[in-house]
Structure formats: structure tokens, C-alpha cells
């Protein structure tokens, strides 16, 4: 048996024994528009295990944000079930195990970098010295040293997104939901962000559900890719991403195994991009 197959079997065995953290069963979402109902999500089921990094991949408008928002309890579902651990997700209820990084840049423009990053701890009533220490550590991790007192308008888009990421991570969520957090960044900055995120994740192993329409990003970061069809979002395929860790995003992208898996999934994803355009 080849080394790659041994790794694949070991990964499968680990998955089989790991606890399930996110369960989505027969999830549906319809939006009522002025003229007609839009079916955004149709009968989607999947699970995310403890410590998995799962990418939810699909073309624009296929329902990725809608699914993530329902998992976060930010949006009511039309049908199906969602559980975080054993608990049913209730629309509007906050789950302290879950952190969310939004698709749009959501830092507070009136707060400095350190006040943005420390926001959640402040709301949670964490004592100032403890907060200051955690914020300093987060700033160092994100490579934002020297910008503690800067306001978001004085930062680049990539730096603002680092602030948004650290503001969520500082709360130490066990489960991290991320909606194309690097979608608006140029390729170089995106790769830098991938490096930062991988370093953090490889250390802390949060359970991650990461939405993206960028196949390269999904392959760089995730352990598994759930591919959705064009709208209405249906589960199309589920791919294992068995690349070794720790990963170096730049070296990985230049590797043969990366190109091979990219081409393989691209065939399936490309079909959905074309259906979106049709
Ligand atoms: N509040 C809403 N009211 C009506 N329709 C909506 C609403 N939110 C989303 N939709 C529709 O649901 C579908 C899925 O939208 P969603 O935002 O989940 O897509 P997405 O996969 O996240 O796309 P993108 O990659 O562009 O962010 C789209 O057709 C969109 O028009
Ligand atoms: Mg979206």
C-alpha cells in the first residue's frame, strides 16, 4: 500500500472515532421575494468532526453564507435540523462555543486596533490587566505590533481583516465559522493571511467551517471540501484533502499533489460555475 493510501486510511479512522461538533440534516432555506420564492438551500446534510477544518465550496449565490448563517443561528431555517454538539441551534440564541468571521470587513471604525480586538473580552467583563495581556498576544500573533493605537481607516484591507480575525479568535471559540474572510484581498495578502490562520489553527485545532468560492484557498487550508451545486445549493461531493501538515501555503501551491487535486475538483466545480452563468 502506498504511503498516501496509509495516510488516507489513518485520516478516515481518526474521523470515524472523533466527536461530531456540527450536524446539519436535510437543511432547507427559501426566501420570499416580492415576485417569487427563491430556494437558496435544498436538502443539505453534512457533519463536521472535532478539530476538522472543512471548506464549504461553491459558486457565488449558491447559498454558502445562508448555510453558515443558519449554523450560527443568525438566520431562521425553512426546514431540517442543525445541532452544535447535542444542542439544537436556535435562531437568535448566542452560542459561546461559536465564533464567526464575516464576509464583509466588520471592524468598528471608531475603535483602535487594540480596542477592536479586545471588544468581546470587554463585553464579557474580563478584567483590564488580563484583557491587555491577551490583546497584546493577539496583536503579536497577527503581526500588528506598532499599530495598537491606529484606527481602521489607517490600516490596509489585509490589516483590517487581521483585526477582525483576532477579535473573534481572542474569545477562544471551539468552533469557528468563517465566511470568505479573505475574499476581498489581493493574492499576496491572501496567502499571508492563510499562513497566519494555518499557524493558529495548527496550534489550537479549532473545529472550522470555512466558506469560500476559491478552490485554491479551500485546498490550502482545509482537511475536507464539501462542494455545493449552483443555486439551489445542494451537496454535490465531499473530498478529502490529505496534504501533510504543517502546511506552507506557497510551497503547497507549487506541488504536484496540489495541482492534481485542483484539476480533479475543478472539473466538478467548473460545471457549477457554468450553471451559475447559464
Ligand atoms: N435576505 C435575502 N432575501 C432574499 N434572497 C436572499 C437573501 N439572502 C440571500 N438570498 C438569495 O439566496 C441565494 C444564496 O445567497 P448566499 O448569500 O447564501 O450566496 P453565497 O453562496 O454566499 O454567494 P457569494 O459567494 O456571492 O457570497 C442567492 O440567490 C441570494 O439572492
Ligand atoms: Mg456569501
The best mutation among 35, 42, 61 to test binding of ligand 1, ranked by most ligand atoms within 8 Å of the C-beta, falls on 61
Which residue's C-alpha comes closest to atom 26 of ligand 1? 60
CA dihedral 145, 203, 186, 254 (to 10 degrees): 130
Q: Which of 232, 214, 203, 261 is nearest to 62 (CA)?
A: 232
- Please identify which residue in the block is written with the cell numbers 449554523: 71
- What is residue 275's predicted lDDT score, i.e. its pLDDT? 81
Which residue's C-alpha comes closest to atom 18 of ligand 1? 63
What b/e sequence results for 90-127 when a residue is b if at least 16 CB atoms lie within 10 Å of its CB, and e otherwise?
eeeeebebbbbbbeeebbeeebbbbbbbbbbbeeeebe
Show the 3-state SS of 252-273: HHCCHHHHHHHHHHHHHHHHHH
- What is residue 103's predicted lDDT score, i.e. its pLDDT? 78
Which residue's C-alpha comes closest to atom 5 of ligand 1? 31
Ligand 1 atom nearest to CA at 64: 21
Q: What is the phi/psi pair of residue 98, to 5°?
A: -110, 130
Which residue's C-alpha comes closest to atom 2 of ligand 1? 31
Instruction: List the domains of the chain with CATH numbers.
Output: 3-97+173-277 (3.40.50.300), 109-171 (no CATH)
d(CA 166, CA 127): 19
Distance 31 CA to ligand 1 centre (A): 9
- Protein residues near ligand 2, an ion, with CB under 5 A: 65
Ligand 1 atom nearest to CA at 228: 21
- Residue 123: helix, strand or coil by DSSP? helix
Which residue's C-alpha comes closest to atom 7 of ligand 1? 31
- What is residue 2's predicted lDDT score, i.e. its pLDDT? 61
Give strand pairing partners of 81: 25
d(CA 228, CA 265): 12
Residues with CB under 6 A from ligand 1: 31, 33, 38, 40, 58, 60-66, 103, 213, 231
- What is residue 211's predicted lDDT score, i.e. its pLDDT? 97
pTM (predicted TM-score): 0.91
- What is residue 262's predicted lDDT score, i.e. its pLDDT? 97
- Residue 56: helix, strand or coil by DSSP? strand
Encode pLDDT of 93-143 as tens digits: 989 999 999 877 789 999 999 999 999 999 999 999 999 999 999 999 888
Ligand 1 atom nearest to CA at 32: 4
Which residue's C-alpha comes closest to atom 3 of ligand 1? 31
Ligand 1 atom nearest to CA at 68: 18
pLDDT along the chain (278 residues), means of 10: 60 75 97 88 96 95 95 96 96 92 87 96 94 95 94 92 92 95 87 92 95 96 95 92 95 96 92 80
Give strand pairing partners of 56: 211, 226
Grid cell of 109 as nine digits:
471604525
For residue 58, what is the DSSP state? Answer: -
Amino acid at each position: 500500500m502506498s504511503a498516501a493510501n496509509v495516510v488516507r486510511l489513518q485520516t478516515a479512522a481518526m474521523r470515524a472515532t472523533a466527536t461530531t461538533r456540527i450536524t446539519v440534516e436535510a437543511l432547507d432555506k427559501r426566501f420570499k421575494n416580492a415576485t417569487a420564492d427563491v430556494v437558496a438551500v435544498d436538502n443539505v446534510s453534512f457533519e463536521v468532526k472535532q478539530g476538522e477544518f472543512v471548506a464549504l465550496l461553491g459558486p457565488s449565490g449558491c447559498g454558502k453564507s445562508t448555510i453558515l448563517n443558519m449554523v450560527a443561528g443568525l438566520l431562521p431555517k425553512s426546514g431540517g435540523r442543525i445541532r452544535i454538539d447535542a444542542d439544537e441551534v436556535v435562531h437568535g440564541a448566542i452560542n459561546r462555543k461559536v465564533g464567526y468571521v464575516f464576509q464583509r470587513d466588520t471592524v468598528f471604525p471608531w475603535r483602535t486596533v487594540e480596542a477592536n480586538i479586545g471588544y468581546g473580552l470587554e463585553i464579557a467583563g474580563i478584567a483590564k490587566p488580563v484583557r491587555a495581556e491577551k490583546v497584546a498576544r493577539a496583536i503579536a500573533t497577527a503581526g500588528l505590533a506598532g499599530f495598537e493605537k491606529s484606527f481602521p481607516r489607517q490600516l490596509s484591507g489585509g490589516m483590517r481583516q487581521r483585526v477582525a480575525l483576532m477579535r473573534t479568535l481572542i474569545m477562544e471559540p471551539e468552533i469557528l465559522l468563517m465566511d470568505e474572510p479573505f475574499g476581498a484581498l489581493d493574492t499576496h495578502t491572501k496567502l499571508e493571511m492563510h499562513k497566519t490562520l494555518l499557524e493558529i489553527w495548527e496550534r489550537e485545532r479549532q473545529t472550522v467551517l470555512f466558506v469560500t468560492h476559491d478552490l485554491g484557498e479551500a485546498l490550502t487550508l482545509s482537511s475536507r471540501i464539501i462542494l455545493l451545486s449552483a443555486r439551489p445549493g445542494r451537496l454535490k461531493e465531499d473530498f478529502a484533502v490529505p496534504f501533510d501538515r504543517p502546511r506552507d501555503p506557497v510551497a503547497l501551491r507549487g506541488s504536484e499533489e496540489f495541482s492534481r487535486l485542483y484539476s480533479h475538483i475543478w472539473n466538478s466545480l467548473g460545471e457549477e460555475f457554468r450553471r451559475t452563468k447559464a
